[in-house]
Amino acid sequence: MRVKLFQNIYKTFRIKYNHMAVFTQVFNPLTAQNEWAVHNDDYDYDLELTCTGFGDMLHDKERNQKYFKALRMAIARMHADGREAHVLDIGTGTGILSMMALTAGADTVTACEAFMPMANCAERIFTVNGFGDKVRLVKKRSTEMRIGVDMPQRANLLVAELLDTELIGEGAISIYNHAHDELLTDDVVCIPSKATCYAQVVQSPLASQWNSMKIVADLDGNILLQPPKDVLQCKGDAAVHDMQLSQLSLENFVPLTKPAEIFEFDFNRKSKTPVPVQRQQLLEMIALQPGSTDLIFYWWDISMYSGDNLVLSCAPYWAHPDYKSRNDIIPWRDHWMQAIYYIPKPQHISRTGEKFVLSCNHDEYSLWFDVHNTLKSNTTVSRHACTCNLHLAYPRSRIGQMNQSVRNKKFLNYLENNLTKDSQVLCLGDGCILGVAAAKMGVTSVVISENHYFSKRFMESVVKNNDIKNVEFIENVNSLPYSKLSQFTHIFGEPYFFSAILPWDNFQFGHLLQNIIEKLPPTVKIAPYSAKIFAVPVQFTDLHKIRTPVQQCEGFDLKLFDRMIKHARAKLPDHKVEAQPLWEYPCKALAKPQELLHVDFHNFKKEQSNNGDIQAESDGICNGIALWVEWNIDGGSGSKSIVSTGPVEPVEPGKFIKWDMFVRQGVQLFEQGYPVINGKSSIRWALQHKPTLSKIEMDFNVNV
């Protein structure tokens, strides 16, 4: 399951103060500071659940129906053979698979769940659905379970959902191996029974932008910054880059090979030997066409029941076994997506039919790949890691943004037109690579505020390898003396901050600026000059499912799960709005975008309270509001002055929106869809900006 940006932000501590109160340390991305929130002593710990798209798994009809069908087939076969069906459900979650097993006729069911809020929820769900006394619920990890203590006997049917986008990233190998050794019979039936992994070698200049620094050139094409040698020599980060590959346009990649089967995982363990924890597979590939072996597209499928052609595929649509024409609808899911792996050193393929070797590797939790010209049986490829600091410092989206030529040209245009040999520039933000580029424009000096260890090391390598002498790094802009601040002619930011989650969290630029603005000369030029928040009501094709209440799943009542999620989400600051890469999630505009907030960084402390109505300009189902920021670099009105984090083309009501691929937008998803009518329906909105409290609050209500 994809790790969302909100995960791991909350740290919870119990502190004895009069009574057992619970203090949660909440990270404020606008100030980059931790703040304390106090809760009653009945505080529960299910906040993690609200930070994932767990609900969409229960909306995955293909998954649910194939699990249910496989259980019916397996239990019926066991009974026909005169055997009882004793089921173990590992990681039961809501308990849905245990209830399916009992409905299918299982004789006994033992379910285990280690995450206590989920285990308690499953316990209540079992009772509501009439299975309270029929499921043995063990609230611990399966690897901690013992026969005779947690289970009366070994199970002969294992049903589990332990998989993620990478297949093995949640520890499936060790969990299955332990279960076979300690908890299951020798003739056990496992659902799913096996998994097959696939890889396709691809060239993609666009996707490669997420992986390494490119040359930064001025408007005339002259090179300002070369990537440092250690970046060029770095093999990159082997970590999985999960995404909805079906949304990557066919124009943005060139397949160099056909999809190839690379690994099979036998969950039934028919060979009676443990699933290998580490393997290497060397495959001879035949090129479909010339190109560069930039990256690997990866996905997997699972066979649900041994001996039956019941397969669930996670392939992108162009490789999906059920895709024959554009009219075919491929099941959507966000818990199991596809992935990209970047080749450490891409090889050039010069002709169609050329042979090369794809090295596929996995350990207990992850996969990695490499490409070689010839087959060598003794070629061992260890998992590569970043040695240049770039991949350690920045997420994939930021690396891609650094390479975004259209965006960069707008900032560079401003810098070229405004800087002189007498300019002294202060850069606010993290990893301000264009601030380093400004130093190559003949200015007197550039001071860059940078306190992130790996980011600073990367930036220093850029400065050193480009022989730049007029750049100074500081850790805290507030430590600069008045004598230094009073000399700056320009304040510049891209702006980007590590702490930013939502697009407007980068307004931290304004907070830093306000701390020093009174010490700056009155003639100082500030860029960006201002920023705006925009909103547009949309109809998502699928993304809304991650927040839509489940109600019922395959006939089982899951309203208790819905209530737990709703209750937990209400505790989150800005709980209604979350960050998502909307280019991966198609949506139609139901109106033209509307401005909600305009902030001037010369007067950032000004509080604002705005409201209005967005009139529907297209019929449809409004299930969300998409939000983004437009940065005005110099206060001008032309397109060269605007850098948007939202749509990359004009928004037309009734048509799909094309989004910036290198940032995450904000989105409020409604629990239900609202039918809207062109010219009759509207969306009422309200926004409050309290800069001194570092808060932006907004609310949306659909009037049908």
Average of per-residue pLDDT across 147-168: 96
Two tokens, residue 314: 């996670």
What domains appear along the chain, each with residue ranges and CATH number? 55-159 (3.40.50.150), 195-385 (2.70.160.11), 396-527 (3.40.50.150), 530-703 (2.70.160.11)
> What does the alpha-carbon distance between residue 616 and residue 112 come to, in Å, rounded to a whole number?
48
pLDDT at 497: 96
pLDDT at 92: 96
- Provide, rounded to the nearest whole percent, the portion of the chain with pLDDT above 70: 91
pLDDT at 56: 83
- pLDDT beyond 70 at 645: yes
pLDDT at 171: 94
- pLDDT beyond 90 at 324: no
Helix axes 116-128, 96-103, angle to 10 degrees: 30
Closest by alpha carbon to 54, among 572, 625, 564, 573? Answer: 564
- pLDDT beyond 80 at 17: no
Q: What residues contact residue 146 under an 8 Å CB cut-off, 6+ apart?
A: 182
Among this protein's residues, is 261 annotated catalytic? no
- Cβ contact 257:342 at 8 Å: no
Give 37's pLDDT tier (boundaries 50, 70, 90). low
Give 4's pLDDT tier (boundaries 50, 70, 90). very low
Strand partners, 531: 599, 631
pLDDT at 381: 79
> What does the alpha-carbon distance between residue 622 and residue 221 come to, in Å, rounded to a whole number?
45
From the candidates 161, 166, 584, 617, which is the catalytic residue? 161
Average of per-residue pLDDT across 316-328: 85
> What does the alpha-carbon distance between residue 368 and residue 166 come to, in Å, rounded to a whole number?
10
pTM confidence score? 0.91
Among this protein's residues, is 630 annotated catalytic? no
- pLDDT beyond 90 at 23: no
From the candidates 48, 62, 170, 416, which is the catalytic residue? 170
pLDDT tens-digit series, residues 328-343: 788 999 999 999 999 9
Average of per-residue pLDDT across 442-463: 96
pLDDT at 521: 96
More confident residue, 571 or 447: 447
- pLDDT beyond 80 at 439: yes
DSSP string, 241-295: EEE-GGGS-GGG-EE-S--EEEEEEETT-TTSSPPPSSEEEEEEEE-SS-EE--E
Helix axes 61-80, 96-103, angle to 10 degrees: 40
- pLDDT beyond 70 at 630: yes
pLDDT at 270: 81
Average of per-residue pLDDT across 570-593: 90
More confident residue, 12 or 592: 592
> What does the alpha-carbon distance between residue 701 and residue 612 come to, in Å, rounded to a whole number?
11
What's the distance, Cα to Cα, between the start and end of the chain in Å?
A: 35
- Tell me the pLDDT of the chain averaged across its residues: 91
Give 575's pLDDT tier (boundaries 50, 70, 90). confident
Closest by alpha carbon to 88, among 148, 150, 174? Answer: 150
